Amino acid sequence: MTSTIAVAEAHELAGGGHVTSAAGVTKILGGSDLLGSKDKSHNYKWPYASGSLPPVEYFFTKPPVPISLLRNPEEIYQYDRRRETSVSRVIKLVEHFKAGEHQVRDRFYTALGRTMRQEQYDEQGRLKRVINLLDLDPMQDGKFYGDEPQDLKRTKIALRLKTNLIYYRVWEYDDAGKATLVALGWNNRLGSAVAKKEMFDFADIRYGTPDGKEKWQGKEAFFKAFDFDPNARRAYPKNSQDR
């Protein structure tokens, strides 16, 4: 049995909650600075305490969650939860917070279930690695380099790869916040950067360093080397509500 708790019943929450008899509250609609404002966010783009947000939803990944949460938004932090923010019609920001914690270790920008950008953080919330897929960066209106330092635009990539379409780019950050391009995944077909007609899932992708040397045999080895989650599955625990 499922039901929807209306806005009036949720009191100060700017939205409603989805409830089942077995799991309790499974989802809350966001849109208010009262809901989840303590959870760390990408403050440059969306300061969650500002009260001005794109559509936001919280999903609870370890039921049951009591209905009392609908009247007391502070209870949200007592439970494992996934926050989904609609960045555009196709891009979604997905973050998973553990009970009692406000800092994520991974931040995913996804499209149609595929990770387009994964940001990895340390325990202090410092950005340590970014993996980008294709040339999509939701932080800067589709421009790839986005919030990376401007000097990264001049990062040298091997001349032999100039006509190859680059699919994956991996940046690593030191303690001072300086980024270095450390790995690429490229279409092995010469001229692919110009043609751009080959479907991504059928492309012959090679994985290596920016100097054009292959280092990883296949995507599994490449993903493992950089802890890349291509479908953001770690934000969707096994016993949680599915996508």
Structure confidence at residue 141 (pLDDT) = 40
Q: pTM for the full model?
A: 0.80
Report the C-alpha gap between 146 and 140 in whole angstroms: 5
Going by C-beta distance under 8 Å and a sequence separation of 6 or more, which residues neighbour residue 216?
Answer: 207, 208, 222, 225
Per-residue pLDDT reduced to its tens digit, 29-59: 765 556 777 787 654 455 454 445 567 888 9
Residues with pLDDT less than 70, the chain? 1-16, 30-34, 41-54, 135-156, 196, 239-243
Q: What is the DSSP letter of 14?
A: S
The strand ranges marked E within the chain are 2-5, 17-20, 24-29, 56-60, 81-86, 91-97, 106-111, 114-121, 127-133, 166-173, 179-187, 205-208, 214-216
Structure confidence at residue 10 (pLDDT) = 34
Structure confidence at residue 242 (pLDDT) = 52
Report the C-alpha gap between 117 and 222 in whole angstroms: 15
Structure confidence at residue 184 (pLDDT) = 94
What's the Cα-to-Cα distance from 235 to each of 94, 146, 155, rounded to whole Å?
7, 23, 32
Domain ranges of the chain: 1-104, 112-231
